[in-house]
A and B are shown apart, each in its own frame.
Chain A
Amino acid sequence: MIHQDSKVLLEVSGLCANVNGTEILKGLNLTVRSGEIHAIMGPNGSGKSTFSKILAGHSAYEVTGGTVMFEGQDLLELAPEERARAGVFLAFQYPIEIPGVGNSQFLRLTYNTVQTHRGKEELDPLEFDDFVREKMKLLEMSPDFLERSVNEGFSGGEKKRNEILQMAMLDPRLAILDETDSGLDIDALRVVAGGVNQLANKDNAIVLVTHYQRLLNYIVPDYVHVMEAGRIIKTGGKELALELESRGYDWVGVEHKAAMGAQA
């Protein structure tokens, strides 16, 4: 929901970044206010996933220019775990498997770590069990998820549900969903999207990184951004996604180049 006077959560200006010496982001600008849902779309290799990992603080990427402010804090100064505790959540495109570590144990540690940071009470194992089971209902997850090792042997859909479960638990201010729709069948997509919609409120914001329009049938964005070659080259409303679906990405680039040419 757009309210022009609502608080700016995330302000990205002129962000440039390298991976292994190759420039991936080349001056990215983005403003996200609380209550908003943004979709970042674009062809493969445009830098969408890189952008989401940089926001989360992945060490493989080197920020070479620009600034990222999160609720008035310099996000780039914070270690990845500090960003998470401050309320930045990344739902992974490929959630990592952690053999031997029980899901319930992991979920409780992450929940209590973040709660402690917010000055709130930790939950003991019994209280946490009640709490997490309630959240799992939202995503129609079976309780045996808790007994399994973190993401180990999970199907693609189960992994994505586990990500959204963590989002539901941690109640982040800014949630970045990196290709959350990939690998989901239509039923799973509906459940996951339903979960995300229930979590969206006026105080948080959601950034959906996606290749396809499909997800946006279920989670309706306020803004759609098109990324190409490390920049956002076009921003529109939800109808832009539909246009991209029917026309592809090429025309946006052509239009952008023409506009750049006219400026010069």
Chain B
Amino acid sequence: MSATLQTLVNQPYKHGFVTSIESDVAPKGLNTDTIRMISTKKNEPEWLLEFRLKSYEAWLKMEVPAWSNVHYPEIDFQAISYYAAPKQKPKLKSMDEVDPELLRTFEKLGVPLHERMALAGVAVDVIFDSVSVATTYKDKLAEVGIIFCSMSEAVLEHPELVKQYLGTVVSTSDNFYAALNSAVFTDGSFCYIPKGVKCPMDLSTYFRINTEESGQFERTLIIAEEGASVSYLEGCTAPAFSSNQLHAAVVELVALDNADIKYSTVQNWYSGDENGIGGIYNFVTKRGLAKGVNSRISWTQVETGSAVTWKYPSCVLLGDNSVGEFYSVAVTNHYQQADTGTKMIHIGKNTRSTIVSKGISAGHSNNSYRGLVKVAPSAAGARNYSQCDSMLVGHQSGAHTFPYIQVANNSSQVEHEASTSKIGEDQLFYFAQRGIDAEAAVSMIINGFCKDVFQQLPMEFAVEATALLSFKLEGSVG
């Protein structure tokens, strides 16, 4: 790629850039000026700036949550640059410049070559290819009235929809990190499925990899109108280069009458090295509102990355007969910490929820499931089934389960099952005695353990998740 082209590619937000700041990296620190700057840079309407400022005011009054079972040094929120830092991912000229360790990861995962290049940030033709890919899909989706674009684009082109729904599921003052995100979010995905439309394909952020450089503070909003349905895939399979970066995303889903939203994530942010140095702090608020009758929201997540994960994709089951599901596999190794789970809030009558959580802890890591099942007085006939299984690999890891159950309607039914198991030397010896090496054995055991969750994933994702887990746990046994 020519030098000129490279300069062009590296030059973000050329349009509407009218502030006194020369560089496109905001000075470190957070105050109302920073927020105004972000809003101005993005050409945002006044109401959105107010939304941000209101969130900021709320955030100032909030405390860092201390109840989770994770430990990390205090974050200096004034030492973070809140704009454009994620845009600065270096564009590399060829695959030769990519970290060989990263290439090995991709190879292990079986990520196709052009995808590897895109993920590794290699600015080659393929990036431009994917522009056309994205455009093709976008046009095809537009034919049936589906809007699928970046959040920034949605704010400018569909402000009425964004204004109507933004912050209605996760309010600006919901929690510390959600408030922070609401104040400073830079981009994310927006998806709108009109009435009665079944989205003809799985929507994936990958197709927009060129247009969206989602950063530390992503904001995603998905709306399924009456009778609509969509399956959304969020893949974070690229190990990030950065260390100890804060990632505080917010995802809101709204399902109206008879609508169905399925949201699948495979998260593999950089988790720090084997000594626990570096890695992403992944503090994410994800919530779906099953607003209409018979609506359904289903979360499936495979969490393998990040130094610290704090994440509880939840469902508010407001509509009568609405359904919430949470299928999760969380893997921690080395010194990773994960405190993850869900909240199922039953409000409507005959609402149903299912929770299947599989936690795998290896190395010195710590893995907690934390879940709330709440049945409101109005939720007659509500039902919940929860199953939380933990698997320990080695002798130094920890697995914890914190289930909270609050029931205020005595016609409801709540079930909770939990188990803990261990991959033992004896199991591996048994496999070895049948000719199977440790790597293949661990992969088979883990897949067996996770199959209830993996079968919820779309096919390619399931294959990728399987490979990712084996890779993640490579060398952690024996």
> Which chain B residues lie closer than 8 Å to A170 at the CB level?
434-435
Interface string of B410-440 (1 = CB under 8 A from A): 0000000000010011110111111111001
A84/B433 in contact, CB under 8 A: yes
- Nearest B-chain residue to A58, judged by Cβ: B429
Q: Which of A85, A92, A106 has the most CB of B within 10 A?
A: A106
- Nearest B-chain residue to A102, judged by Cβ: B448
**How many Å lie between the Cα of A57 and that of B447 in the bound state?**
26
A101/B444 in contact, CB under 8 A: yes
State how many residues of chain B have any CB contact under 8 Å with chain A: 22
| B445 lies within 8 A of chain A by Cβ | yes
> Which chain B residues lie closer than 8 Å to A114 at the CB level?
434-435
> Which chain A residues lie closer than 8 Å to B429 at the CB level?
56, 58-59, 80, 96
A110/B426 in contact, CB under 8 A: no
> Which chain B residues lie closer than 8 Å to A149 at the CB level?
448
> Which chain A residues lie closer than 8 Å to B437 at the CB level?
79, 81
B435/A59 in contact, CB under 8 A: no
B426/A96 in contact, CB under 8 A: yes
**How many Å lie between the Cα of A117 and that of B437 in the bound state?**
13
| A182 lies within 8 A of chain B by Cβ | no
A81/B432 in contact, CB under 8 A: yes
| A29 lies within 8 A of chain B by Cβ | no
| B87 lies within 8 A of chain A by Cβ | no
- Nearest A-chain residue to B432, judged by Cβ: A80
What range describes how many residues of A lie at the interface? 20 to 34
A84/B448 in contact, CB under 8 A: no
**How many Å lie between the Cα of A84 and that of B429 in the bound state?**
11
**How many Å lie between the Cα of A114 and that of B435 in the bound state?**
6
- Nearest B-chain residue to A100, judged by Cβ: B448
Given contacts A96-B426, A96-B427, A109-B440, contact A56 B433 (CB under 8 A): yes
> Which chain B residues lie closer than 8 Å to A100 at the CB level?
445, 448-449, 451
Within 8 A of B (CB), among A92-114: 92, 95-96, 98-102, 105-106, 109-110, 113-114
B444/A90 in contact, CB under 8 A: no
> Which chain A residues lie closer than 8 Å to B431 at the CB level?
81, 110
A117/B435 in contact, CB under 8 A: yes
**How many Å lie between the Cα of A101 and that of B434 in the bound state?**
15
A90/B451 in contact, CB under 8 A: no
Selected A-B contacts with CB under 8 Å, 7 pairs: A59-B478, A80-B433, A81-B433, A89-B433, A98-B430, A102-B448, A106-B444
Query: Can you list the 7 inter-chain pairs with the closest CB atoms, starting with the nearest?
Result: A100-B448, A80-B432, A110-B434, A101-B448, A96-B430, A84-B435, A113-B435
Given contacts A84-B433, A92-B430, contact A99 B421 (CB under 8 A): yes
Whole-angstrom distance between the Cβ of B161 and the nearest chain A Cβ: 44
Within 8 A of A (CB), among B371-386: none
A98/B445 in contact, CB under 8 A: yes
Residue numbers of B with Cβ under 8 A of A are: 421, 424-427, 429-437, 440, 444-445, 447-449, 451, 478
**How many Å lie between the Cα of A89 and that of B432 in the bound state?**
10
A109/B436 in contact, CB under 8 A: yes
> Which chain B residues lie closer than 8 Å to A92 at the CB level?
430, 433
| A204 lies within 8 A of chain B by Cβ | no
| A50 lies within 8 A of chain B by Cβ | no
Whole-angstrom distance between the Cβ of B398 and the nearest chain A Cβ: 20
| A180 lies within 8 A of chain B by Cβ | no
Q: Which of A58, A79, A99, A170 has the most CB of B within 10 A?
A: A99
Within 8 A of B (CB), among A64-92: 79-81, 83-85, 89-90, 92
Whole-angstrom distance between the Cβ of B23 and the nearest chain A Cβ: 53
- Nearest A-chain residue to B437, judged by Cβ: A81
- Nearest A-chain residue to B358, judged by Cβ: A100
> Which chain B residues lie closer than 8 Å to A102 at the CB level?
448
**How many Å lie between the Cα of A99 and that of B420 in the bound state?**
11
A81/B435 in contact, CB under 8 A: yes
**How many Å lie between the Cα of A96 and that of B430 in the bound state?**
7
| A166 lies within 8 A of chain B by Cβ | yes
B430/A84 in contact, CB under 8 A: no
- Nearest A-chain residue to B440, judged by Cβ: A109
> Which chain B residues lie closer than 8 Å to A85 at the CB level?
435
- Nearest B-chain residue to A149, judged by Cβ: B448
**How many Å lie between the Cα of A106 and that of B448 in the bound state?**
10
**How many Å lie between the Cα of A117 and that of B421 in the bound state?**
32
B434/A166 in contact, CB under 8 A: yes
**How many Å lie between the Cα of A79 and that of B445 in the bound state?**
20
Whole-angstrom distance between the Cβ of B181 and the nearest chain A Cβ: 37
A95/B444 in contact, CB under 8 A: no
Interface string of A174-215 (1 = CB under 8 A from B): 000000000000000000000000000000000000000000
> Which chain B residues lie closer than 8 Å to A80 at the CB level?
429, 432-433
**How many Å lie between the Cα of A105 and that of B478 in the bound state?**
23
A84/B434 in contact, CB under 8 A: yes
**How many Å lie between the Cα of A54 and that of B449 in the bound state?**
30
B425/A59 in contact, CB under 8 A: yes
**How many Å lie between the Cα of A170 and that of B436 in the bound state?**
13
Which of A56, A79, A90, A98 contacts B448 (CB under 8 A)?
Answer: A98
> Which chain B residues lie closer than 8 Å to A166 at the CB level?
434
Interface string of A141-167 (1 = CB under 8 A from B): 000000001000000000000000010
- Nearest B-chain residue to A86, judged by Cβ: B435
**How many Å lie between the Cα of A110 and that of B444 in the bound state?**
11
Whole-angstrom distance between the Cβ of A154 and the nearest chain B Cβ: 13
- Nearest B-chain residue to A166, judged by Cβ: B434
